[in-house]
Amino acid sequence: MTSSPTESNKIMSPDDITKAKSEIYDDEDEFEDAVEERPNEADDNGNFEVTAEEISVIRAELACEFPDDYTYLSESYIKSVASKPYSKDLSKRRPLEYSTEKLSQVLQWRQEEGISQLLDLIRLTLGPENSPEALADPEKMVKAKAVATALNTASQYWHGFTKDGKPIFWVRTNRKFWYPDVDAELKALIILTDAGIRSMPQGTTEFVVVSDSTSPPPPNPSYMIGMLKGLVKGYPDRLGLLMSAPVSSIIQFVMKLLLPLMPGRLSSKVLLYDMDRMVSKLEEILPNGKDDIPTFFGGPANHDEFYPEEGYAKYQGKGSLKFDYFGMVERLEAARDEWIASEIKK
């Protein structure tokens, strides 16, 4: 049974929204953004100049605080974060200290969430439940199986790149659970997001999300807040664009819940389309235009060949994971290399 807009208004009260903001943002400036002390001129993409010396200063401070983890942040990403304007005054650049703190929070969040150990859950699900590794840590095996269950729906995966070299994260809402294990779903999302970031071409810092929002499950506030918290704290300035179609009452409702929690810079990247408009936009951004549009948007590209529903999965190992995670990574890296080769030829 789906939720109506009237029912959805009751899911989060003003107090709930305030509480959610406090969980996502450490202070109001994170939501509103602050004002840079000195004026600067932005480029055509709305970004400001960041010098090599400033990048070195940020990198050095992060290396001191997180000596084992700071290399996760590429110089291109550091520059991208530091170059952004503030929503309070788009003619001003973020202060260097604020950008450093923002990146420090990324690494702190990764430590607190144990991100570096999440891939171990994937590896654990490749073997049987009575493997020595599983028997040695039953609690970890329970978590691993829950993450595998979330991945096995094939409701989200990376496949291909845009014309300008951004990896594409596809979401198929009709495959998602109505009553999800929120913790497992969020862990699965983090594992997938990291895989996409690792596969980015050098110099690329953003990804694109395309959602087939046909028959979505009822809104789950805990999952939505956790997802937004991860995007803000763990992956700031990573989302280049999110396109969703078709526009249903549930999707409108979800956006009604999320928009009050989003900074304007983030909410402006979320676009809701009807199916015709989605097809037109996909034709614009996909390397081969119409030929790359997936079947669930009326095109010829059959994603189910690689990402079928669990019952049709070709990957049937000894463990609980049926989603072809490592095959996905290999295909994404091959698509990246193909995109790089095409850019060299230009």
Task: State the pLDDT at residue 298.
Answer: 97
Write out the two tokens for 231: 């995007």
Write out the two tokens for 103: 């990146």
Distance from the Cα of residue 83 to its chain's centroid: 20
pTM of the model: 0.89
Half-sphere exposure of 138 (CA within 13 A, CB side): 0
Give me the amino acid identity at 221.
Answer: P
Residue 52 CB neighbours (<10 A): 9
The phi, psi pair for 137, rounded to 5°, reads -145, 80
Task: State the pLDDT at residue 316.
Answer: 66
Could you report the per-residue pLDDT of 206-230, keeping only the tens digit for each?
999 999 999 888 888 889 889 999 9
Non-local CB neighbours of 312 within 8 Å, separated by 6+ positions: 304
Residue 179 CB neighbours (<10 A): 8
Distance, in Å, from the CA atom of 5 to the CA atom of 163, rounded to the nearest integer, reads: 37
What region, left, alpha or beta, does residue 127 occupy, with left being phi > 0 and alpha being psi -120 to 50 degrees?
A: beta
Q: Report, as ranges of residue numbers, the positions in the chain whose pLDDT lies below 50.
A: 1-10, 33-39
Distance, in Å, from the CA atom of 204 to the CA atom of 168, rounded to the nearest integer, reads: 12
Q: Is 83 exposed, middle or buried (0-12, 13-18, 19+ CB in 10 A)?
A: buried
Could you report the per-residue pLDDT of 45-72, keeping only the tens digit for each?
778 889 999 999 999 999 999 999 999 9
Residue 306 CB neighbours (<10 A): 15
DSSP string of 49-89?
A: ---HHHHHHHHHHHHHH-TTTGGGS-HHHHHHHHTPBPSS-
Residue whose C-alpha is closest to residue 62's, from 23, 28, 96:
96
Non-local CB neighbours of 117 within 8 Å, separated by 6+ positions: none
Q: Is 39 exposed, middle or buried (0-12, 13-18, 19+ CB in 10 A)?
A: exposed
3-state secondary structure of 108: helix
